[in-house]
């Protein structure tokens, strides 16, 4: 098979790119989606808010997903569901797998928009037994919203990110009564006003607390919590592991992956190290809102459109960006261009912990930009780029101020 632009992943980023490429008349667009229905994570979400930036109204996840898919199809994109991209090849070309087995798709450009997943319990170093009933939020959303099933009745929820509160709402809707919300850090990680939610829903919140062990042989029977008061036992019948997202970058098989962002290394146009491949959306880094991913998808469409016409600068002319501070969790893009269509015009980054400090961009001995920031790990920080750069490597530092 052949197409002009192949997009892997029919979430907000992939579908936004498909619609925009169609509008630009960039060529034939084929979206590859492994699930039976397009829409990405929002399709698994019964709750709002989605859609403010895109459709100027507040939508539930499923309605939002349906609109995105319709918008892409309206511009002529074809969406191939039940189809998994199983390998990336030079060309670019994709090895795809569907119900009829393996087939190949040649393209002039490929956009990777495969999103994120949550960390497993091992990545969070949770000890204890391995009974049934320990699941990530993605699984809960699907069970409740797609199947109308409930995996447990009295779980503990680990995490206090935005997604943790989505999970709390989902529990509430499904008649599940969480017995506690657990946060290893000293404060709730979601922005206000969601911080008020657990108290509003009558769920006790334990800060500076970890799940030391999970108990139960067939089903969860309880957890050991380790917190400021030492170790305590809590009865429950499930554990919901929320947040702590990582990029779904398995297709890259470890090549061209940034250990900080967990996603692909990209330049300002979203180009990956491998020729012909672009990336957008939450794959780039965990995790932004659907609206932010949608914007990135649209921007990627412009970059791809330009690339197909030969309007992008040579990839080797970019200036690499290196992080030099433990306070910075990641910074994107990893290779900077200051000119050209469909560019990430800014550096986006996140910090590892709450910090007041000075964020500086260096080239050789020169400080070329410097900003005072007051940052929280849950907030995206953007840093505008100076107009003209030397060809020297860029270094990003963050000095904490008292």
Ligand X SMILES: Cc1cc2nc3c(=O)[nH]c(=O)nc-3n(C[C@H](O)[C@H](O)[C@H](O)COP(=O)(O)OP(=O)(O)OC[C@H]3O[C@@H](n4cnc5c(N)ncnc54)[C@H](O)[C@@H]3O)c2cc1C
Query: Tokens 């997202």 map to which residue?
Result: 245
CB of 281 to ligand X, least distance (A): 2
Residue 320 buriedness (CB in 10 A; 0-12 / 13-18 / 19+): middle
Among 38, 33, 125, 20, residue whose Cα is nearest residue 75: 20
Taking CB under 8 A as the criterion, the residue among 27, 49, 91, 98 binding another protein is: 98
How many chain residues bind another protein (CB under 8 A)? 59
Which one of ligand X, another protein, none interacts with residue 217, CB within 5 to 8 A by kind?
A: another protein
CB of 67 to ligand X, least distance (A): 13
**Omega of the bond prior to 193 within 30 degrees of 0, cis?**
yes
Among 170, 216, 161, residue whose Cα is nearest residue 188: 161
Taking CB under 6 A as the criterion, the residue among 6, 12, 161, 270 binding ligand X is: 12
HSE-CB at 150 with a 13 A cutoff on CA atoms is: 16
The site string for another protein over 213-252 (x = CB under 8 A, - otherwise) reads: x---xxx-----------------x--------x-x-x--
Taking CB under 6 A as the criterion, the residue among 6, 7, 42, 197 binding ligand X is: 42
Residues within window 118-147 making contact with ligand X, judged by CB under 6 A = 137-138, 141
Residues within window 216-275 making contact with ligand X, judged by CB under 6 A = 248, 251
Among 337, 188, 332, residue whose Cα is nearest residue 262: 332
Q: Measure the CA–CA gap between 332 and 323, rounded to whole angstroms.
A: 10
10, 27, 61, 62, 381 from 76: Cα distances, Å: 15, 10, 23, 22, 36
50 contacts ligand X (rule: CB under 6 A): yes
117, 251, 320, 368 from 328: Cα distances, Å: 21, 26, 16, 18
Which one of another protein, ligand X, none interacts with residue 290, CB within 5 to 8 A by kind?
A: ligand X
Provide the CA 348 distance to its chain's centre, in angstroms.
Answer: 14
Query: Tokens 């790990």 map to which residue?
Result: 377
Which one of ligand X, another protein, none interacts with residue 13, CB within 5 to 8 A by kind?
A: ligand X
Residues within window 284-323 making contact with another protein, judged by CB under 8 A = none
| Binding footprint of another protein on the chain (CB under 8 A) | 34-36, 44, 82, 84, 86, 97-102, 117-118, 120-123, 125-130, 132-133, 135-139, 141-144, 146-153, 173-175, 212-213, 217-219, 237, 246, 248, 250, 253-254, 259
| Binding footprint of ligand X on the chain (CB under 6 A) | 8-14, 32-35, 40-42, 45, 47, 49-50, 84-85, 113-116, 137-138, 141, 163, 166, 248, 251, 281-283, 287-291, 293
């Amino acid at each position: 098979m052949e197409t002009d632009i192949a997009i892997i992943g029919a979430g907000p980023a992939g579908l936004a790119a498909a619609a925009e490429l169609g509008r630009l008349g960039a060529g034939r667009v084929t979206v590859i989606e492994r699930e039976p229905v397009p829409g990405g994570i929002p399709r698994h979400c019964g709750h709002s808010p989605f859609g403010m930036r895109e459709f100027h109204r507040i939508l539930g996840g499923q309605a939002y997903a349906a609109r995105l898919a319709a918008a892409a199809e309206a511009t002529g994109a074809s969406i191939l569901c039940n189809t998994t991209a199983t390998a990336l090849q030079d060309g670019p070309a994709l090895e795809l797998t569907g119900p009829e087995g393996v087939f190949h798709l040649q393209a002039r450009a490929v956009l990777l928009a495969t999103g994120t997943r949550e960390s497993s319990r091992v990545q969070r170093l949770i000890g204890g037994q391995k009974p049934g009933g320990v699941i990530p939020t993605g699984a809960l959303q699907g069970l409740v919203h797609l199947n109308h099933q409930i995996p447990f009745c009295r779980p503990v929820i680990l995490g206090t990110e935005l997604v943790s509160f989505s999970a709390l709402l989902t529990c509430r809707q499904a008649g599940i009564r969480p017995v506690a919300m657990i946060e290893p850090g000293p404060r709730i990680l979601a922005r206000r006003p969601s911080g008020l939610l657990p108290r509003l829903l009558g769920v006790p919140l334990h800060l500076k607390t970890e799940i030391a062990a999970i108990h139960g042989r067939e089903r969860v029977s309880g957890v050991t919590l380790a917190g400021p008061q030492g170790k305590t036992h809590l009865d429950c019948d499930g554990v919901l592991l929320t947040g702590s997202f990582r990029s779904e970058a398995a297709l890259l098989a470890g090549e061209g992956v940034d250990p900080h962002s967990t996603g692909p290394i990209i330049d300002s146009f979203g180009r990956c190290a491998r020729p012909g491949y672009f990336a957008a959306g939450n794959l780039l880094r965990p995790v932004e809102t659907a609206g932010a991913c949608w914007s990135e998808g649209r921007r990627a469409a412009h970059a791809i459109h330009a690339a197909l016409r030969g309007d992008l600068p040579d990839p080797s002319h970019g200036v690499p960006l290196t992080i030099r501070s433990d306070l910075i969790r990641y910074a994107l893009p990893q290779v900077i261009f200051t000119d050209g269509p469909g560019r990430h015009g800014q550096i986006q980054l996140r910090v590892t912990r709450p910090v007041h400090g000075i964020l500086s961009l260096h080239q050789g001995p020169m400080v070329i930009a410097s900003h005072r920031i007051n940052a929280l790990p849950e907030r995206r920080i953007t840093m505008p780029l100076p107009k003209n750069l030397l060809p020297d490597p860029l270094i990003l530092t963050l000095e904490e101020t008292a």
